Structure 1
Amino acid sequence: MKTKERKYPLGFWMCAGTEIFERLAYYLGRSLILIFVTTAVVNGGLGLSDSVGAKLQANLTAFAYLGPVLGGVIVDRFIGARYTTPIGMVLVGIGYYMGALAKGPGMIYAMIVCVSLGLGLFRTAPLIGRIIGDNSKMDSAFSIRYTLVNVGAFIGTFLVGILYKDVFAKDGVLGFAPCFKLAALAMFVGAVWFMIATRFMGDVGKKPFKMEKTEEELEEEAKQKALDKELKKMPMTTIEKKRIGAIVLVSAFSIVFWIFWYLAYLPVYYHWAENMNWVVAGYEVPATWFDAANSIFCVILGPITAKLWTVLAARPQGDMSLFRKTGLGIGILGLGYVFFAVIEITRGNGKPSVLLLIIFAFLLTLGEMFFSPLGHSFISKYSPSRYLGVMISVWGIATFIAGKSYGNVYEFAFGGNFKFSSACIVIAIVAFVSALILFALDKRLSGLVEKEQ
C-alpha cells in the first residue's frame, strides 16, 4: 500500500511552530512597554512621560530589525542556525526577565540590548527554506509561517491585557513584572521546543549556510567559477544601476510607511486611553487588544490579498506594480489618520466607544498587507545577484530607521505642539502626497526594473 506523501515535513511544522513562542513574547513585551513606562510608580510603573515610553518602544522595534543584519552574517559564515537559534532565544528570555526587574529606564535599555542581540541569532526563516527545499512549495510554506507568527502575536497581545490588569494586579499595583517574566518563560520553553524540533530537521542548519548549498547552487557554482574573475572586473550595467536605484527608492518610501504604521499605535495607548470609553459590556478593554486586532486582521487578510495578487497577475496587463501597491498602502494609512481626526473633531468633550478603533485597526492592517509582505519579493526579483545581500540589508536598515524615528515623530506631532486632530491631518496629507508621487512616477519607476525590449 502506497504511503501518502506528507505535504510538509514534521521538521517544518516544529521549526515554524517556534515562531509562536518568539512572537508571543515579543508582542507581549513590546505592547507592555508603552503602559509600564508611563504608569505611576505607586501602581507598579516607572512614572515617566509618554514621550519616553514612545522612544523606548521605538528603540526595541528598531534594534530588533538591526540585530538580524549581524545575525545573518554569523549564520551565513561562521555558525549553523540550528545552534544560534536556541542561544538567541535564551538571550531574549534573559532580556525580558530584566524588564521584570526594571525600576528605571536603564534596565529597560538593558532588556532592549539583550532582545535585539538574541533576535539577531534567532534564524528560523532560513532554516524553514532549507527544510522545504522545493521552490514550488516555498510560497505556501512561508504563508503558513506568517499565519503562525500572527497566532503568536495575537496570543501575546490578547493575554497581556488580561494578565497585567486583572490576573496579576494586586492592591492597586498592576502586574507588569509577572508579565515580563511570562515573556521570558515563553522564550525559554520555546528554546526547548526548538531543540526538540532539530531531531526532525535532518542536517539542516548544522553548518553555516555558505557550506550548505543546494544542488541547484552547486550546479550553478560549477558554471560560475569560470566567470568569477571576469565578473568581479565587470562594471555595473545600466539595468543593474537602474534596478538598484529602484530598490533604494522603494526602501526610502518604506521608511515613510513604517514610521506612520508604528506611530499609529501610540495615540491608541496614550491619547485614546484618556479620551475614549474603554468599557464594553461592563468590562474595561485592555489597550493591548488593539495590537491583537491587528494580528487577527493579518490572519484574515493574508489569504485574501494573496488571492488578489494572483488574480491581478493573471490579467493581460499583468499584476499591479509594487510602486502602486506601496502607494495604496501609504494612502490607506492616511485614511486611518483622517479617521482619527474625524473622531477627535466630532467627539467634542465626550468619550466615544473604543469599538471605533476596530475600524482603524482594519485600515492599518489593510495598508500593511498592500506593502509589508512584498518588499523582499521585489528585491529578490530585481536585485543583481552579486549585490543581493547588500540590497536586503538596505531594506532592513530602512525599517531600522523608521523604527528609530517614530518615537521622535510622536513627541513632535503629539507631544503638545499641535492639536491632536491637526497632527493627524498633517500626517494624512504627507501620506496622500507620498501615494500620489508613487502613482505619478509609476511608469518611470517600473521602467527602471524592466529590461528594454
Structure 2
Amino acid sequence: METKKKGFPVAFWVCACSEIFERLAYYLGRSLILIFVTASVATGGLGLSDTVAANMQSNLTAFSYLLPLFGAVIVDKYIGARYTTPVGMFIAAAGYFTGGIAKSAIGVYVMIFLVSLGLALFKNGAIIGRVITDKSQMDPAFSMRYTLVNVGAFIGTFLVGILYKDVFAKDGVLGFAPCFKMAALMMVLGGLWYIFVCWRFLGDLGKLPFKKTLTEEEKAAEAKKKEETGTKQPLTTIEKKRIGAIFVASLFSIVFWIFWYLGYMPVYFYWAENMDWVVAGYQVPSTWFDAANSLFCVILGPVTAALWKKLAARPQGDMSLFRKTGLGIAIIGVGYLFYAAIDIMRGGEKASVLWLIVFAFLLTMGEMFFSPLGHSFISKYSPSRYLAVMMSVWGFATFIAAKSYGPVYGLLFGGKIEFKVACIGVAVVSFAAALIMIALDKKLSALVD
C-alpha cells in the first residue's frame, strides 16, 4: 500500500509566516542605519562618520544575537514562548519607532537596545521546534522556515533603497523617518498576527516554559531513571553528550559566520571602487546585494528542503548535520576563490557588478547548508528544559562572529595584503574547517544518537 506523504501542520506555516514581519522590519532598519547615520543633517541624516555608523550596525547585529540568551532563560524556566514572542515584537516596534524620531546618536542607540530586547523575547524558532514532532521532518521544515524568513528579508532590503530616496523623499529631505516607522508598523502587525492567528493553531503549545513540556523520549528516560534510582536526575548522560555536540557545532558556527559576514564587506568597499555598478544605464543600489542573498534563500529553501527529505528516505538514512554544515563552510570557501578569480581576470579594469550575483549565490548556498540546520539540530536533540538556551547558544556564536568580522576585515583586507591573496587565504581556512568537521562526523554523531 502506498504511504501518504506527510506534510507540515498548519501551526508550522502560520508561525513561520510571522518571521516575514520580523525580518522585513529588521533588514529594513538594519540596512538603513549606515545611510541614515552618515547622511548630512540637511538631507535628514545625522551627519556622523562612517566608523560610527558601522559600529552602530554591528551592535544591532551583535546584540540581537546576544540578548536572546537572557530571553531564553525566561522561556525555558518562567514564561511560555507563545506569550513572550508577540510582546517582543511590540517592544521591537517601539525601538524602530524611536529610530524614526531620532535626532541624535542617542536615539539610534535607544533603538538598538529596544530592538535587541524585543528579539530576545522573540522565540518563534523554539516554538517551531516543538510544532514539528517528527525528527525526519526537522531539516526540511527549518529549510522552509528559512525561505519565509528571507521573503521578509528580501522585501526589506529591496524596498529600502527605493523608499528612502524616492517614495518618501521630499524637498531634498530623504525618507529615513517614514522607513523606520514602517518597520515599527510591520512589527505591530506581526505581533497581532501571532496573537490572533498563531495562537489559534498552537493549542496548548508554548503556554508553559519548555522545562515543563518534555518530549516523549524525555518522559520515558525520566521515568526509567526514577524507577532505577528513585530520584529525578538533572540531566542524563545522553543529554549531556547532546549539549556537548551543540557546543561543538556552535564553535564551527563562529568560523562560518565570520567568513559569511566578511564576504559582504568588499561589496561596500573594495568592489565599490573596482566594479562598474551601472547596468543598462541604471545605478544599482548596493543594498540590492543583500536583496540578492535573500532572494536566493527564498529560491533555495524549497530545493534544499526537498533534498533533505530525499536523503532522509534513503536506506542508509540522512546525511548528518556535521557533514551538511561542513559542506556549507566549504562552499563559502569556493565563493572566496571566485572573488580572487574576479580580481585576477579584471586585469586592473573595473569588473561588471553582475559578477556579484554568482558570489551571492555561492554565499547563499553555503548559508542554506548551515544556518537553518542549526536550529533543526537543536530542536531534535536539545533537552527541553534548555531548548531556548541551546538555540541562543547557536545565536551567541553569531554574536561573536558579528563582533569579530570587522577586525578580521582590517587584518586581511586593510591594505597590507593583496585582495586576491587574502581571499585565497580565507578559502584555505574554510576548506580546512570543513575537512575537520567532516573528519569528526562519526565521533560527533555518536554523541547525539
Q: Could you say whether these structures have the same fold, taking a TM-score greater than 0.5 normalized by the shorter chain as the test?
A: yes
Q: CA deviation at 1:417?
A: 4.5
1:277 matched residue in structure 2: 276
Distance in 1 (alpha carbons) for counterparts of 2:103 and 2:42: 12
Distance in 1 (alpha carbons) for counterparts of 2:10 and 2:248: 40
Cα pair distance change 1:79/1:379, threshold 3 Å: closer
Preserved contact between residue 84 and residue 122 of structure 2 (Cα < 8 Å)? yes
How many positions carry a matched residue from both structures? 443
Preserved contact between residue 91 and residue 117 of structure 1 (Cα < 8 Å)? yes
Preserved contact between residue 51 and residue 410 of structure 1 (Cα < 8 Å)? no
1:157 matched residue in structure 2: 157
Cα pair distance change 1:98/1:18, threshold 3 Å: same
Letter in 1 for 2:403: K
Matches within 5 A, 1:52-63: 52-63=52-63
Question: Which shifted more, 284-293 or 124-133?
Answer: 124-133
Preserved contact between residue 127 and residue 205 of structure 1 (Cα < 8 Å)? yes
Preserved contact between residue 88 and residue 119 of structure 1 (Cα < 8 Å)? yes
Distance in 2 (alpha carbons) for counterparts of 1:227 and 1:37: 63
1:3 matched residue in structure 2: none
Q: CA deviation at 1:314?
A: 5.4
1:207 matched residue in structure 2: 208
Distance in 2 (alpha carbons) for counterparts of 1:409 and 1:375: 24
Question: Which shifted more, 47-56 or 221-230?
Answer: 221-230
Question: Which shifted more, 192-201 or 376-385?
Answer: 376-385
Preserved contact between residue 157 and residue 290 of structure 2 (Cα < 8 Å)? yes
Matches within 5 A, 1:2-401: 11-130=11-130, 141-197=141-197, 198-212=199-213, 222-227=223-228, 232=233, 246-313=245-312, 319-348=318-347, 350-379=349-378, 391-401=390-400
Distance in 1 (alpha carbons) for counterparts of 2:195 and 2:427: 46
What secondary structure does 1:117 align onto? helix
Cα pair distance change 1:257/1:243, threshold 3 Å: same
Distance in 1 (alpha carbons) for counterparts of 2:15 and 2:241: 38
Q: CA deviation at 1:362?
A: 0.3
What secondary structure does 2:67 align onto? helix
What secondary structure does 2:427 align onto? helix
| Cα distance per residue 1:383-424 (max 9 Å; x no partner) | 678877765454332222112212332344334444444433
| Cα distance per residue 1:289-320 (max 9 Å; x no partner) | 21121122112222323333444455666544
Q: State yes or no: 1:450 paired with 2:446.
A: yes
Q: CA deviation at 1:74?
A: 1.4
Cα pair distance change 1:282/1:433, threshold 3 Å: same
Cα pair distance change 1:278/1:227, threshold 3 Å: farther
Cα pair distance change 1:20/1:394, threshold 3 Å: closer
Letter in 1 for 2:209: P
Cα pair distance change 1:229/1:422, threshold 3 Å: farther
TM-score by length of 2: 0.84
Query: % of aligned pairs identical?
Result: 67
What secondary structure does 1:79 align onto? coil
Letter in 1 for 2:442: S
Structure 2's unaligned 5+ residue stretches are: 1-5
Question: Which shifted more, 225-234 or 60-69?
Answer: 225-234
Cα pair distance change 1:361/1:95, threshold 3 Å: same
Structure 1's unaligned 5+ residue stretches are: 1-5
Question: Which shifted more, 344-353 or 148-157?
Answer: 344-353
What secondary structure does 1:194 align onto? helix
Cα pair distance change 1:229/1:409, threshold 3 Å: farther
Cα pair distance change 1:164/1:430, threshold 3 Å: same
Preserved contact between residue 144 and residue 301 of structure 2 (Cα < 8 Å)? no
Cα pair distance change 1:223/1:286, threshold 3 Å: same
Q: CA deviation at 1:31?
A: 1.9
Question: Which shifted more, 105-114 or 47-56?
Answer: 47-56
TM-score by length of 1: 0.83
Letter in 1 for 2:106: G
